[in-house]
Every structure is written in structure tokens, then in C-alpha cells.
Structure 1
Amino acid sequence: MTNVSNKILQGKSAYITQGEFAVDCSPTVVISTILGSCIAACIWDPDANIGGMNHFLLPNGPQVLESDSSSFGANAMEVLINTLIRSGARKNCLRAKVFGGAEMCRGLTDAGSRNGLFVLSYLERENIPCVGQSLGGNQARRLEFYPESGRVRQKLVEDACVTEVIPVVPASNELELF
């Protein structure tokens, strides 16, 4: 019953990347990913023993792409939740754990924090309790999600490069001669 984007894995473990998701109910399946500023939402129904994980880049994309791109939060969350429900989960039983949103390049962008705020707000609006989270910081994360039980293992990636962006002072129009 595993679905990764549009690939059927037939109960095998899956690695997902940006814009992908996976859903399964097998106790032997592990869904994994690596995150920086991206977000992964691990959502499962503990009564139906089914769960799934997505991996999205930003809360919102260009207006033209929002309705058909799983790289953006609203669509990624909707696709995952709808697939879980079609696969036998009940919405009122869903639980979530969310990960990611790191600041990988200091001073360059606030994408990680915006992603974290988005996913928590989305879950609250959908009345899906967030029972665990690891958001923010400045380290990448490696995740392993066991969809049948909702268990997640996280390992911080020590060797991920965190760069500090130093602002460039724009040149003036003044000319100085020595």
C-alpha cells in the first residue's frame, strides 16, 4: 500500500525527496529523508496503523504552481492527508510529528522559520494534534519514520555546512584618489 509520489513500492522502505510523499501500513516499512530548511510532516492514524510522510520546500509557491506542486506546503499537506484517508485512516484520529525548518545559511533567508510556522498553523487549522516536533536550529536532520506505529528517529547531521552570509556594502558613486 505504499505510495511515493506516483510510484508503488509494495511494502518496501522508501527514501523521499522534496515534493514527494509516502504512505504505508506495513510494520517493516521505513520512510526516510534528509532536511535542511525544508519540512517533513509525519502523520499517522494510531488506530488504523497507517501513516505517511511528506517533504516540502516552502509554505507557498508562485500563484500559478500552488494548485499542482507538492514542493509547497499547502498542497503537500493536503495530498498526504487525503491519501491517508483514502487508504483507511480517519481524519479525527490523525496525529502529527514535524521536523526541519533549520537556518542553513545565516542571514540569507528566513525560509526555515516560515516553514515551521506554516506547518504548525496548518495542523492547528485542520485539528490534527502535533504530538512531537523538532523545528529550527542550524543543523540538517536525517529522519526515519515508521508509518505503522508513528515512531520517528532523528539524527542531526553534524557535517552539514552552515554558512554565514556577510552583507556586501554597496559601492558608492564617490571616487577617491590617492
Structure 2
Amino acid sequence: MYMDPKLQAAPQRSRVTVMQGMVETTDQSDVVLTTVLGSCIAACLFDPIARVGGMNHFLLAEPNSSQTNADTHYGIYLMELLINEMLKQGAAKSRMKAHIYGGGNIHKNMQPIGQRNSELAERFLNTENIIITHRDVGGSNARRVDFLAALGKARCRHVDGAAAPAAKPTPIPVKAVGDVEFF
């Protein structure tokens, strides 16, 4: 786990939460991009010369072969979007560096979604010749990531599964239409 002690100082920093399907970029050194991950991946990219950085948060690696387009759920789309947004702010792809976080396989009996997500992020960055300077992926814990994007500094904290609140199913109201009941 990489923890930059400088992230703990300076309470005047602005925090921007990056939720699933989002990309955020900034050239402001006082902005912290933050997210919480399970099987999702957050790719944190930065250009140390332009002092521009950003974070994405994706739920799935890429659409299956029967789907014709990728959207904000997919890493393949959000990785491209993150790079393009950084280029608009003056970054150069040849100078970009990356950190990747998440990809945990939180539920042991489910498919290894987290592993697929982290494999996609690494493969994508390698193909684009973007150096991965830090990675904290895999395992079975959730993570909280704070990223001073313009400076390329990050803090990643693991959340033990026992410390996380238990999932509570939310009842969905049933609507009756004519003689057919949807549930």
C-alpha cells in the first residue's frame, strides 16, 4: 500500500469524488480526486511536466462480443476518455505516468471481475506506452484512493471485509398491470 504523508496535511484541499462511470481531470495542485473501489478499477494518470492529472472509475473491462458499443461502464471507453480529457488540458501522452488501484475479487463465489478489470487496465496502458509507476490491485479487500492528480501523488487505504457494512437488500415495490404482475 502506497501512502503519501503529504496527502494528510493541508486540510484546505478540495475533494472531488469519482463515482463509477466517471472521469475527472485537473491541473489544480490543491484538488484531491477520491474514490472507493471493490472489483472496480481506478486508473490515475498524470503528466509531471504539464502538471495535469486525472482519475477514472470503471465497473467492467470491456463489452462482450455481442455488444456493438462501449459506454461509461467499461474500462476500454473510460481509459480513452481519461487520456483525451488530459490532452485537452495540455498533457502529452508520451509523458503520462499511471497508478492503478482496485480490481479486488471481493466475493469469493463470483466470477473474477476484479482480475479482468486490472488485466485490461495494464494491457491498455502497456499498449499506449504509458508507464505504470504504481499498482495496488487484486486481493479481496475494498480500497479508498485519494489522488493529488496534478502532482501525481496518491494514497491507497485497504478496507478489511469485516469492517465494511453488510449489504442490505432493498425491497423493490411490485407494480400490477392488468392481470399480469411484474416482479
Bin for the TM-score computed over the shorter chain: 0.7 to 0.9
**Equivalent position of 2:93 in the other structure:** 91
- Alpha-carbon shift at residue 24 of structure 1 (Å): 0.3
**Equivalent position of 1:72 in the other structure:** 74
- Alpha-carbon shift at residue 53 of structure 1 (Å): 0.1
- Alpha-carbon shift at residue 142 of structure 1 (Å): 0.3
Relative to structure 1, the CA distance from residue 79 to residue 161 in structure 2 (aligned partners, 3 Å threshold; closer, same or farther) is same
- Alpha-carbon shift at residue 72 of structure 1 (Å): 0.2
Moved over 2 A (4+): 160-163
Identity of aligned residues (%): 36
- Alpha-carbon shift at residue 27 of structure 1 (Å): 1.1
Are 1:124 and 2:159 counterparts? Answer: no
- 8 Å contact 1:25–1:148 — kept in the other structure? yes
CA deviation digits over 1:22-49, x for unaligned, max 9? 1001111000000000000000000000
Q: What SS class does the counterpart of residue 105 from structure 1 fall into?
A: coil
Instruction: Return the alpha-carbon distance in structure 1 between the equivalents of residues 84 and 53 of structure 2.
Output: 12
Q: What SS class does the counterpart of residue 106 from structure 1 fall into?
A: coil
Superposed CA RMSD: 1.7
Instruction: Return the alpha-carbon distance in structure 2 between the equivalents of residues 121 and 112 of structure 1.
Output: 14
Q: Provide the TM-score with structure 1 as the length reference.
A: 0.81
CA deviation digits over 1:116-138, x for unaligned, max 9? 11100000000000010000000
2:164 corresponds to which of 149, 152, 160: 160
CA deviation digits over 1:80-124, x for unaligned, max 9? 000000110011000000000001100211101111111000000
Segments of structure 1 that go 5 or more residues without pairing to the other structure are 1-10, 164-178
- 8 Å contact 1:40–1:98 — kept in the other structure? yes
- 8 Å contact 1:104–1:162 — kept in the other structure? no
- Alpha-carbon shift at residue 12 of structure 1 (Å): 4.3
Structure 2 matches for 1:37-76, cutoff 5 A?
Answer: 37-61=39-63, 63-66=67-70, 69-76=71-78
- 8 Å contact 2:33–2:146 — kept in the other structure? yes
Instruction: Return the alpha-carbon distance in structure 2 between the equivalents of residues 86 and 150 of structure 1.
Output: 18
Instruction: Return the alpha-carbon distance in structure 2 between the equivalents of residues 134 and 49 of structure 1.
Output: 23
Relative to structure 1, the CA distance from residue 91 to residue 122 in structure 2 (aligned partners, 3 Å threshold; closer, same or farther) is same
Instruction: Return the alpha-carbon distance in structure 1 between the equivalents of residues 32 and 14 of structure 2.
Output: 8
Instruction: Return the alpha-carbon distance in structure 2 between the equivalents of residues 162 and 106 of structure 1.
Output: 15
| Paired letter, 1:56 | F
Instruction: Return the alpha-carbon distance in structure 2 between the equivalents of residues 12 and 142 of structure 1.
Output: 17
Segments of structure 2 that go 5 or more residues without pairing to the other structure are 1-12, 168-183
- Alpha-carbon shift at residue 148 of structure 1 (Å): 1.2
